[in-house]
Structures are given as C-alpha cells and as structure tokens.
Amino acid sequence: MAKMYYDKDASLDILKGKTIGVIGYGNQGCAQALNLRDSGLDVIIGVRADETRQQAIDDGFEAVPINKAAARAQVILMLIPDEIMPDVFKSEVLPGLSPGDAICFASGYNVAFKFIEPPQGMDVVMVAPRMIGAGVRQRYQEGQGFPSFIGVEQDATGNALNTTLAIARGIGSTKSGVMELTFAQEAELDLFTEQGFGPAFGQVLLASIQTMIDAGYPVEAVMIELILSGEFAYSMEKIVELGFFPQMDLHSHTSQYGSMTRSVRYMIPQIAETMKEVLEDIRSGAFAREWDAEQKAGLPVFNQIKEARSLHPIAEWEKATREAFHI
C-alpha cells in the first residue's frame, strides 16, 4: 500500500511566517484559500482582472496580479485550469520565483507530461484533493476531512514533504488522510477515470435507454427508471458508504439474483482490452500530445464533437420527463 499521512504527521509551523500565493480563485482556489486562511495562514490571491478578483476581494483577501503574487509568495499554489497553466506559469509565475520557493500543483498533469518544467532550486510538490471545491470547503467547515493525493517531484530544500503535508493539513485533508503518489500516477489515474471508466459507463447508459425505447417503453418511463428518479444515484452513494457488494443487500432478492446471474453476460474481454489501450495512450503521453495539438489548432475536433453531442435526443427526453414529473 502507498504511504499514508494524517494530522499527526503534518505541522503548519513550516508555513507560518510565509506568504502563500493562491493562483486562481475558481472552485478549488476559493475553497483552498479560505481553508488555509481559516487555518491561521497568510494568504494572498493572484488573479487576473475578472469577476473572480472581485469575489476574492469580497471574501476579504488581498487580490493582486498573478506576477505580483508569485513574486511576493514563498509558497505558490497553482489552482488554474490545466489547459492555460503552462502559458501562465511561463509568462507570469516563473519570473517571480526565487530559490527555495515551493510550487504546489493540484494535478500532476502538466509536470508529468512536461508541459511545465520548473527550474532547479525550488520545491515542486502536489496536493490533489479527490473532491470538488465546494466539498473541500464544506468538509473543512464541518470539521471533516477529505482524501487527497500528495507528491514531491523536486526537493530542493530538504523540506518539500513537510511543506506538502502542511498545505494538505491547512486545507483540511489530513484529517481524513492523504496518500503519497508520483505526479505521473495522479495524472494517469485521473485521466483513466475520465477516459477509461467514464465513456464505458456513458455508452452502457445510452445503450440501455435506446434498447428500452426501441422495445416500445414510454420515453418518460425509461428516463425515470434509469436516471431521473435518483434511485441509481442513491445506489452509487451507498457503494461509497458501504461497499460495492454490501450495498446489494439494500435491494430485493429478485434484484440481487437477477443482477448477479446476468452480470456474467457482460464479462466481455474486449472491454478490458479497450481499457488497457486507453491506459496505454495515457501513460505513453499520446493523449497529452493529442490534446495539446488540438488546443493549438483551435479545438476543431472538440467543437465538432460538442456539436454532434447536442444533436442527440437525450436532452429532449430528459426535458419531457422533467416536465411530466415536475422535477
């Protein structure tokens, strides 16, 4: 098992007397900045002149241009979208860095795939919450923790791990526990969830809906049964709470028997083989190179796919069902 760390392993002392520059004030930036401040740490916000700057000011932070935040802070949290981060880092963050500074990423993506190559002489670390920003803030306020992956890519000071753990504790994550991974492992796990599991699940769901509609069942009944009643979402919550198999005991014996006996029909080797191919694309860097080229070309494939997606009738089916059931 990978190394785990908890509150007892982390001290905020290494961050006291230092300025933490949070770059970006979106979902994660806002939540982490508020949590760090509530943990008694000195936080400034580096943000461009947009609505998020005003939100940071309204929340009581000093909000300054990104380059000024990077120059003033000794600990920099990069909490802007992955796709714009390399340019922002190169043009606005890098010039203000000093030897001994710590740069913390919330995703391993850009460092793992060499879109950002921080200079020597500074700590390069990662604290990657497995929780959306709203959850990061809510769990902190409720005195609960949340899981994160942490990592050290470069330890120039000899204190990189302690700094990483302090950041994780400051945002409230070590109360639950944080797991040490490499930047590459974090990025690959994240991308596989999005590309290996997500699309497979999505295609199964769409095929299920189409099969039932083609068999003559009312659209609204199919949509309620498979998605919009919330029953499936409840089952997923119980998987998280109880476990994959234990949650089955919440269902009738008929449901359990039918599910278990028919599941073997879906044990198709091609599914696992496709997933292995997807994972290899991720690990080799092929996907990262493809996505980088797509962005530089102006997103032609991305926009084409979004257009095609908008033509699928599922949106109309969902709308009709919501209207019929007043949901």
The two three-digit tokens of residue 325, written as one number: 């059931």
Beta bridge partners of 281: none
CA-wise closest residue to 283 among 185, 166, 206:
185
Q: Give the pLDDT score at 25.
A: 97
Please report, for residues 227, 237, 242, 253, 266, the alpha-carbon distance to residue 246 in angstroms, rounded to integers and kept in the order given.
Answer: 22, 12, 6, 13, 21
CA distance 105 to 76: 9
pLDDT tens track, the chain, 327 positions: 889 999 999 999 999 999 999 999 999 999 999 999 999 999 999 999 888 999 999 999 999 999 999 999 999 999 999 999 999 999 999 999 999 999 999 999 999 999 999 999 999 999 999 999 999 999 999 999 999 999 999 999 999 999 999 999 999 999 999 999 999 999 999 999 999 999 999 999 999 999 999 999 999 999 999 999 999 899 999 999 999 999 999 999 999 999 999 999 989 999 999 999 999 999 999 999 999 999 999 999 999 999 998 899 999 999 999 999 999
Please report, for residues 105, 127, 157, 200, the alpha-carbon distance to residue 152 in angstroms, rounded to integers and kept in the order given.
Answer: 10, 9, 12, 32
Other beta carbons within 10 Å of 8 = 8
**148-154 and 178-180 beta bridge pairing:** parallel
Q: Which SS3 state, helix, strand or coil, does residue 21 take? A: strand
The two three-digit tokens of residue 181, written as one number: 């991974």
Domains of the chain, CATH where assigned: 4-181 (3.40.50.720), 186-325 (no CATH)
Rounded to a whole number of angstroms, the distance between the first and last alpha carbons of the chain is 44
Name residue 213's amino acid: I
Q: Give the pLDDT score at 49.
A: 82
| Sole residue written with tokens 């806002």 | 30
pTM score over 0.85: yes
Exposure string over 242-281, b if 16+ CB within 10 A, otherwise e:
eeeeebbeeeeeeeeeeeeeeeeeeeeeeeeeebeebbeb
Q: Give the pLDDT score at 169.
A: 98
Q: Which string of DSSP letters, residue by residue, matches 67-122?
A: HHHHHH-SEEEE-S-TTTHHHHIIIIIGGG--TT-EEEES-SHHHHTTS--PPTTS
CA distance 226 to 217: 12
Q: Give the pLDDT score at 56.
A: 96
CA distance 34 to 55: 12
- List Cβ neighbours of 273 (8 Å cut-off, separation of 6 or more): none
Q: Give the pLDDT score at 1.
A: 80
Q: Give the pLDDT score at 223.
A: 96
